[in-house]
Each structure stands twice: as structure tokens, then as C-alpha cells.
Amino acid sequence: MALARHRETGVLRLYRHCLALYPSEFRDEYAHELCLTFADRWREERSPRVCLEGLSGILQEAPKEHFHVILKDLRYALRILRKDTTVTLAALAILALGIGATTLVFSLANGLLLRPLPYADPGRIVAIGEYSPKDPNEYGQISFLNFRDYAARERLVENVGVYNGYSVILRGDGEAENVPAEAVSDGVLRSLGVAPILGRIFTREDTAPNAPKVVILSEELWTRRYSRDPQIVGRSIEVDSGKPTVIGVMPADLRFPSNTQLWLADRSDPAKAARTDYYMRAIARLKPGVTVEQAASEWESILQQIHRENQAANNNWKALVTPLRTFAAAAFRKQVIALLVAVALLLAIACANVSNLLLVKASARGREMAVRMAMGASRTRLVRQLASESVLLGLAGGALGTGLAYVGLPALLSLIPVDLPRWMKFSLDGRVLLFSLALSLATSLAFGLAPAFGSSVVDLSSSLKEGGRAGSGGVRHKLLRGGLVVGEVALSVILLAGAGLTVRSFLALRAQNLGYNPEHVLSMDVDYPDQRYPDGPKAHEMIRRLTADISSLPGVTSAAFTSGVPLGQDQWSRIYTIEGRPRALKDMPFVNHVVTVPGYFATLGIPLLEGRDFTEADYDNQHVLVVTRAFTRMNWPGESAIGKHVRFGPPVNNEPWFTIVGVAADNRHDLLKGRGRPVVYLPYSANVTPSSLLVRASGDPAKMVSAIRARMRAFDPDIALDHIVTLPQLIERASWQDRFLAILFLAFAVMALTLAAVGLYAALSYTVSLHSREIGIRMALGASTASVQGMLLRQGMALAVAGLAIGLAGALAMTRLLESQLYAISTSDPITYAVTPLVLLAVATLAVLVPARRATRVDPAIVLRSE
């Protein structure tokens, strides 16, 4: 009554405005109290200020009350979930599986693609190089002279520097040791912006060709070999044949570019460099406000100027500027993206499965929903309650999934047989945990909204009369359940097809003819003092004696030195010219270039198809070649290559002509997968000393290591052995990404197929429970067991066939993401697309057969009496 007398006052309008802003779910609850408070204060004080003070006290309680209602919803949801433990545990297991797998793959993506590099302001660091448009194997390298010209002309970057990796031998302070090293110019460490823990970094003066030799150690090497000697700075250490001075120690986090333990100042001499020697890589730091695109445009313009100024060395390569993070992870990006897509499909299947479970549960709660609406509950209130149950399930499933990811990460990393760069750190860090939390909440919405909204649409009259058997939403729920099952089957077909393609690709990769016999072959790097064995007669005598010594060991069949082990890290390539076919530099192709000694082909088991092997006499006549069959087909199709002449390097170098004396079988020397280059073999010459040793044993070659090491030490204690590995292990390392992808895709496909089968089983089981009376009547009237089972099987298989048809169409589109990852298999591989439907239909038949058989074993009389 008090409000009616003052309806038109400004204070009343303000009150109405406050009430309109009040949360709708509490407005009715608090409206009466607000009205009474306002009226009482107005009668007593007749002051708008006092009235609003009274209202503010109630309004301040709103958040507390809102939180109280949310807690009440969550407590009720927890009671409901605990009441039906079977559905709850099943949903938690499915969610833990889906969220755990997704979190696991995201932790890989985080370590490879997202985690910032451990450098200062890493977003501004870019990789700079060149690439060949016609040869994808030549990517990101740069010649020293091109780098020098670029550094003199660039305006948009700073601290540009080059680096080149190799290994060195450390002597003194213990046994001779081979360590990974990097020759870097002064701009590299300045670009990274990491301060040394002792001493200083390189300066421009340190990289002058005639400057004193200086070196920087990693903290790990300083600790392991030099016992963290605080006086290490200023001390000379023995590296290879020299004694550089230590000027600094870098912190443990810096292992640039990979697992480097020692940095030397690059002292390349421009007078001795060739513009066509591409063996370096470069980085720089963008100046403030400069974009990658602007820097790339500038580098392309400079490179075109360099080509115009040096026409004889113009190879028509293009400029490359890309973020260092992108460049470093380029070899893994496509595989990680493919795995993220696959695990997203698995998570979608898990959500559909849980949504189906909740729909079944919601159908059984039809009477409960009807009674609550009859007592005044709004649809929003019901949706909020059901959503609370979904959120609880999602968070609990996310917690379990994160635990599974934590346990599974070490097992997943154990599938990687190579030492990944130190910047690739894989852990469940804050970003991964936040992702898992967000994923749990998003998953809650994904599997919970459809059941929540579907259950909140209730026909009170029919639901209350039906006694809650199926609820008025039975038809809607049936259609939605069927759609979810079809979706599960379709997504599982896509994953199954992807698994089939990756597994077949990996098997084809491992079954291919390598062109050599890797069994019982051991490879190792042999590092010897350069001063004691300089290139020439002394080095040749060392190679000859060591080969004879190792070959004489019991259990050794043959041994040979080479400049490059098949599928190893040291791969040389050169451009070449055929006699009588002059070409411009930009049109000259690349060929793999291997220096060998007599016995190399026998040790590897590479057949000689034509001509002869190298002999000791070829040391005096070094200008002879053995080439592979692919090289002859490329250059002399249909002709014999014996006696033909080849010259290496650009035309301006006037290199000598080499005569082909033999043709060997094609082999996988540089790449296990992809378009490898042909190979040419040169005999050991006076200016190149091969530093890798291949040993063929009659038994297990790994058991020969100690004997070989003892023989080497007896010959010269300063010779160091490193990278000791069997050829099968090298093949395993070369194919690990394909094996990794195949294993994960297969695991995801098995999980997806299992979830789809569970979905089909649950859908048909619920159909049987709803129509048990109808089935009982049919059987009571004489229907045969086969006819009833056939009816149920047709219903279940109709869903499976519909999902199969949709899934096959989706697989043809989605598996194109894998095209670049496959070997000798197309994305439309007929065997994969023939086997996938058979596997799916077999699993689907088993899934629907169990509830169909169970339905016909029930006594019709018992079913009818229970109704």
C-alpha cells in the first residue's frame, strides 16, 4: 500500500530500476522483502537516502545467496551422481580417457610448438637463411659470403650471426672425449640475450680470422669435466689440435641450437670462402616494431642484389625469414597437428558417449522433472541443476584425466629413441593444467547441454500419467541418442582410417629395400688429433692400419672408413656438371657425396651392378667415381655410365673431371622417407680424411665395441670414439616419427572403436528395456527368437551403417591432413578403405548382438506380469 501511494516518485523509479537489475532467479524471492523494507523506511524517514541504505543491505547479500544456491545445486548434483554409481563411474572412465589423451597430446604440442624458447624476448628472434625452390632438402642454410653481405646491408634486424655445428675432442682433465660443439659468430649469443654465469661472450674481435682462439663452455660441461673450477675463465684447454682460452660459461638452460656443450668463435676467412658453400645457419633479433614480414621482404631484396652482383654464383635461391620457434619445430609441426586433430575426434566421441549415458539417465528421471515443474520450478532452474551435474562430472573426469596424462607422459616419451633438443621440455606445467581445466569445463558443456535442455522440455500431463517410464521426451531422446551414436561411429571410422593409413605407411617404410644390408653392422665416429694425422700420407696410413687392425679382430667380417654413414647426421651434397652439358649455376642439380675406402661396398652389402670397386691404387689416381643406378638413369638414360665424366662445384671453380668406374645399386643413404638424392662415391683423397667407421660382424656387433675401443686405444690413446650405434638403431631413429604417429593413431582408433561399440551397446540395451513389454507380447504371440533378434539387430546396425557411410566420406576429406606424413601409401588407399568398414561392422555386430540375444532370453510371462 505504501508503494502504491508513492508510485510516481523518483525514488520508486530508482527502486524499480534496482529490482530490474537483480538476478532473475532471485528476483521473486527477494521482491517481497525489498518492498517491505522500502515501505517501512519511507514511512519512518520520508528520505530517499535512508530508503536506499536499507535496500543496499539486502542487495549486498545477493552474491552470498547466489553462491549459496550454487552450492546447494552442486550438493544435490553430487547426491544424484552418487545414487547412480554405475552411470557415474562409466561416465568418469570415458571422460578420463578422452581428457587424459587430449591433455597428453597437448603437453607434446606445448613442448614443441607453444612453450617460449629459453631466451630473452624470444618472439623477436628469427632464423634467416635461403632455400632452394626445386630441392626441399636444401632449406634454411646460408653461405658465409651471402651472410656477410646481408649483415652489411640489413636495416631491420640487429645482432645477426651465423653458426655451424660439428663435434670436437677434448683432451686433458681426463680421458679424450667427443662433445657436440658449435662455431658461432659474435651476433648469435647477443641475439639470444642470455648472460653468461662466468666471464663474457664473443665480441667482433674474437671472430677475426687471425684472432686468438677462444671458447665458451656450457654449465654442464664445466661441472662434469672441470668440477666447476671457479678459475676456468682465462684457462687454456685442449680442443682438437689447439688450445683455445676459455672466456665464459653459459647457464644450463642454453644449449643452442640443440644439445651443444661448447661454443667456439667462428673465424671464417672471406678470402677462403666460396659463395656457393651452403653449410651455415643464421639468426638475428628483429628491431623493435619490425615484423617478420618486413624483415623477410628486406632480405629478399638484398638477396636479389647479391645475385645481380654475382651472376656466376646466382643459384636462384629464395630468402627465408621465420620465427626461430617455428624454424626449430618445423620437423614436428605437421605430426603434432595431425595428433591434435586425432585426439580432438577421440574427445568428441567421448563427449557423445557420455551425453548418451546422461540422456538415458534423464529419460529415467522424466517423472522427477515433471513433478518439479508442477511445483513451480522454471525450465532455467532445471537446466541449471542438470548443468551442475555435468560440471561435476567434467571436473572429476578432468582431474582423473590429468592424472592419467601425468602417468602416461613418461611412457609416451619412452617411445622416442632419439635425444630431442633441450629446449623441448615436456611436462604438465601451468599452461597444460589450465588447458586441462578449460577442457574439462568445455567438455561439461559439450556432453551436458543436450541432455539438460532435452530433459527440461516436459509435458506435465503425459509425464505424470506415464508414471515416469520414459517421460514425454522419449521420442526426442530416442532421436538424439541415435544421432549421437551415428556421430560416434562416424568419428571412429575417421580415426580407424587414419590409423590404417599411418600403420600401413610405417610398415611400407620399414619393409622397403634399403639397397644395403644393415644387419650386424656397427657404425661409429672416429676423432683423431688433426696435428698428428693431417690430411695426406699420414692420415692415409692411419686409415689403412686401423682398417686392417679392426678387420683382424675375431668376429669382424669387414671394416671400412667413410665420410658419411647411411642415415647418419653427416650428409654431404654438391652440385655437379656432366661433361658436354654445361649449365648455369641456378640449374645445376645436387647429388649426395660420400668419400669411402676400398671395402666400403662389401661392408654395407651394396651390390656393384657394373664396373669395379675402388682399390688402393685409386689413392694415387683420385679422380674416379662410383655412382648409383639412379644417377645414371637421371643423366644417361638407356646408356652405360662407365667412362663418363662428372665435375663438382660451380663452373667458376674449375674443378677437375672425375671418371665413372663403377655403378652401385640404389640405396637409402640420406633419407629413409621422401625423395632422396642419388649418390656418388669418391675414393679417399689427400684433402679429405673419412672419420666414420663401419664394422660388419658375424654376430651381435654391439659386443664388439669394447674390443674395437681397446684396439683403437692401443693404436693411439688420443683417438676418441663417439656415436657408436648399429645400423638397425639408425634406421629406428630415422623412422621414429612415423612409428610414433602410427602407434598413437592406432591407440586412438582402438579407444574410439571401443567407445563407439559401447555407444551402440548402450543404445540398443536401452531400446530393449523400453520395449520389453512389446517384445514379451511378440514372443507370447508366437514370434520366433530369430525374428525378434533380427528386428533388434536391424535397429542397431542401421545406426552403424549410417555412421559408417558418413565416416567414410569424412575420412576421405580428413585424412588429407596425413598426406605429407605417408610413405608409398595414398590417402585413398583401397586396402585401408576396404578393411575399415569390415572392422567397424564386425565390432558393431558384436556390440548389438549381446543385448539382442539377452532380450530374447527373458520369459514373456514374467515381463508381462511385471508391467
Strand, helix or coil for residue 786: helix
User: How many residues comprise the chain?
Assistant: 867
Q: Is residue 65 part of a domain?
A: no
Q: Are residues 673 and 700 in the same domain?
A: yes
Asked if 189 and 263 touch (Cβ cutoff 8 Å), the reply is yes
Residues 6+ apart with CB under 8 A from 128: 142, 150, 157, 160, 282, 283, 284, 295, 299, 320, 321
Minimal CA–CA distance to 810: which of 337, 342, 356? 342
Q: Per residue in 187-246, pLDDT tens?
A: 999 999 999 999 999 999 999 988 999 999 999 999 999 999 999 999 999 888 789 999
From residue 530, give the alpha-carbon distance in Å to each of 172, 182, 226, 534. Answer: 16, 18, 24, 5
Q: Are residues 713 and 764 in the same domain?
A: no
Q: Per residue in 810-857, pLDDT tens?
A: 999 988 889 989 998 999 999 999 999 999 999 999 998 888 887 777
pLDDT of residue 738: 94
Banded model confidence at residue 342, pLDDT cuts 50, 70, 90: very high
Q: Per residue in 532-576, pLDDT tens?
A: 887 777 888 888 899 999 999 999 999 999 988 998 877 788 889
Q: Are residues 567 and 685 in the same domain?
A: yes
pLDDT of residue 380: 67
Q: Per residue in 515-537, pLDDT tens?
A: 999 999 999 998 887 778 877 77
Q: Are residues 474 and 605 in the same domain?
A: no
Q: Is residue 37 part of a domain?
A: yes
Q: Are residues 692 and 754 in the same domain?
A: no
Strand-pairing partners, residue 318, are 131
From residue 507, give the alpha-carbon distance in Å to each of 35, 461, 750, 771. Answer: 78, 62, 18, 48
Residues 6+ apart with CB under 8 A from 421: 255, 257, 258, 259, 328
Stretch 622-642: mean pLDDT = 93
Asked if 572 and 564 touch (Cβ cutoff 8 Å), the reply is yes
Minimal CA–CA distance to 524: which of 273, 721, 304? 721
Q: What is the mean pLDDT of the chain?
A: 84
Q: Is residue 129 part of a domain?
A: no
Q: Is residue 118 part of a domain?
A: no
Banded model confidence at residue 726, pLDDT cuts 50, 70, 90: very high
Minimal CA–CA distance to 238: which of 527, 627, 40? 527
CA angle 200, 203, 205 (to 5 degrees): 130
Minimal CA–CA distance to 712: which of 522, 521, 525? 525
From residue 533, give the alpha-carbon distance in Å to each of 31, 395, 527, 716. Answer: 97, 67, 11, 11
* Residue 181 in this model has a pLDDT that exceeds 60: yes
pLDDT of residue 36: 47
Q: Are residues 244 and 144 in the same domain?
A: yes
pLDDT of residue 511: 92
Strands 645-648 and 573-578: antiparallel
CA distance 158 to 757: 59
* Residue 473 in this model has a pLDDT that exceeds 60: no
Q: Are residues 168 and 46 in the same domain?
A: no
Banded model confidence at residue 313, pLDDT cuts 50, 70, 90: confident
pLDDT of residue 696: 96
| Of the residues 17, 32, 60, the one at which a domain ends | 60
Side chain identity, residue 630: A
Banded model confidence at residue 739, pLDDT cuts 50, 70, 90: very high
Strand, helix or coil for residue 273: coil
| Of the residues 60, 75, 93, the one at which a domain ends | 60
Q: Is residue 170 part of a domain?
A: yes
**E-strand stretches of 483-563:** 521-527, 556-562
Stretch 655-679: mean pLDDT = 89
Asked if 721 and 524 touch (Cβ cutoff 8 Å), the reply is yes
DSSP 538-555: HHHHHHHHHHHHHHTSTT
Site of grid cell 581445466:
437
Q: Are residues 549 and 467 in the same domain?
A: no
Q: Are residues 283 and 190 in the same domain?
A: yes
Strand, helix or coil for residue 32: helix
Q: Which one has a higher pLDDT value, 378 or 712?
A: 712
CA distance 414 to 392: 34
Q: Per residue in 115-128, pLDDT tens?
A: 888 898 999 999 99
Stretch 599-610: mean pLDDT = 95
* Residue 504 in this model has a pLDDT that exceeds 80: yes
pLDDT of residue 680: 95
Q: Which one has a higher pLDDT value, 726 or 22?
A: 726
Q: Are residues 702 and 755 in the same domain?
A: no
CA distance 545 to 828: 55
CA distance 260 to 456: 62
**Residue 50: all three cell numbers together:** 535512508
Q: Per residue in 32-88, pLDDT tens?
A: 444 545 555 545 555 555 555 555 554 454 455 555 556 666 677 677 777 878 888
pLDDT of residue 182: 95
CA distance 816 to 821: 10
- Counts of helices then strands in the chain (DSSP H, E): 27, 22
Q: Is residue 304 part of a domain?
A: yes
Q: How many domains does the chain have?
A: 4
* Residue 770 in this model has a pLDDT that exceeds 80: no
Q: Is residue 328 part of a domain?
A: no
DSSP 703-734: GGHHHHHHHHHHH-TT-EEEEEEEHHHHHHHH
pLDDT of residue 289: 94
Q: Is residue 809 part of a domain?
A: yes
| 114 DSSP assignment | I
* Residue 441 in this model has a pLDDT that exceeds 80: yes
Asked if 485 and 356 touch (Cβ cutoff 8 Å), the reply is yes
Using a pLDDT cut of 90, give the percent of the chain over it.
Answer: 50
Exposed e or buried b for every residue in 527-562, given b needs 16+ CB within 10 A? bbbeeebeeeeebbebbbebbebbbeeeebebbbbb
CA distance 376 to 366: 16
* Residue 687 in this model has a pLDDT that exceeds 70: no
Stretch 637-655: mean pLDDT = 86
pLDDT of residue 469: 46
Q: Are residues 167 and 277 in the same domain?
A: yes
* Residue 501 in this model has a pLDDT that exceeds 70: yes
Asked if 207 and 565 touch (Cβ cutoff 8 Å), the reply is no
Q: Are residues 189 and 298 in the same domain?
A: yes
Q: Identify the domain containing residue 147 by its residue range.
A: 134-316
Query: Maximum distance among all alpha carbons in the chain?
Result: 122
Q: Per residue in 811-824, pLDDT tens?
A: 999 888 899 899 98
| Of the residues 263, 288, 316, the one at which a domain ends | 316
Q: Which of 52-56, 98-102, 177-181, 717-721 has the lowest mean pLDDT?
A: 52-56
